[in-house]
């Protein structure tokens, strides 16, 4: 795709594309060029991940322990499927990666929610304190 050059002295410039395009690359995968977008994040829930990986989701329900991490536990159906070749390593690794990213995002949102709650309680306490002073 056509882009402008980057300056040699400071490595800055407009080395970007200017239109959206969906490209089929030789492997058959689809690549979306979306100018102006610097990062693509995960949006969704654990249910969405389970729906996208329904084969693994079914295995998860067969694990011996309900808190199985699907890594090294005995009686793990996911591990057994990997060992038997019923579940490809690529697919398992993709699932793990998205699972970790989702866990990080959920924890981050939780931290933000807690901070917002503290802020709200602080503001409320400050308001109440001011109100008591005014009544004297
Ligand atoms: Zn498991």
CATH number of the domain that residue 68 is part of: 1.10.40.50
Is the pLDDT at 136 greater than 70, yes or no? no
Across the range 104-124, mean pLDDT stands at 90
Residue 25, pLDDT above cutoff 70: yes
Give me the residues paired with residue 22 across strands: 32
Q: Is the pLDDT of residue 4 over 70?
A: yes
Has residue 50 been placed in a domain? yes
Q: Which residues, chain by chain, have CB under 5 Å from ion ligand 1?
A: 63, 68, 70, 76, 78
Position 115 in a domain: no
Confidence grade of residue 97 (pLDDT, cut at 50, 70, 90): very high
Instruction: Report the number of distinct structural domains present in the chain.
Output: 1
In this structure, is residue 116 part of a structural domain? no
Ligand 1: centre distance to CA 65 (Å)? 7
> Is residue 34 assigned to a domain?
no
Asked if residue 81 is part of any domain, the answer here is yes
Please work out, in degrees rounded to the nearest 5, the angle formed at the alpha carbon of residue 104 by the alpha carbons of 54 and 91.
30
Domain that holds residue 49: 45-106
Question: Is the pLDDT assigned to residue 48 strictly greater than 90?
Answer: no
- 52 found inside a domain: yes
Does residue 105 contact residue 42 with C-beta atoms inside 8 Å? yes
Range 25-53 average pLDDT: 84
Q: Are 78 and 113 in contact (CB under 8 A)?
A: no
**How far does residue 46's CA lie from ligand 1's centre (Å)?**
16
Is the pLDDT reported for residue 56 higher than 80? yes
């Amino acid at each position: 795709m056509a882009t402008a050059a980057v300056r040699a002295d400071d490595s800055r410039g407009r080395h970007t594309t200017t239109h959206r395009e969906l490209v089929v690359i030789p492997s058959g995968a689809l690549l979306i060029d979306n100018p102006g977008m610097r990062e693509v994040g995960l949006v969704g829930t654990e249910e969405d991940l389970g729906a996208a990986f329904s084969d693994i989701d079914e295995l998860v329900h067969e694990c011996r322990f309900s808190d199985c991490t699907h890594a090294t536990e005995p009686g793990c159906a996911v591990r057994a499927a990997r060992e038997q070749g019923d579940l490809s390593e690529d697919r398992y690794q993709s699932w793990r990666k998205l699972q970790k990213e989702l866990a990080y995002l959920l924890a981050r949102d939780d931290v933000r929610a807690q901070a917002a709650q503290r802020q709200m309680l602080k503001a409320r306490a400050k308001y109440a304190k001011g109100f008591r002073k005014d009544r004297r």
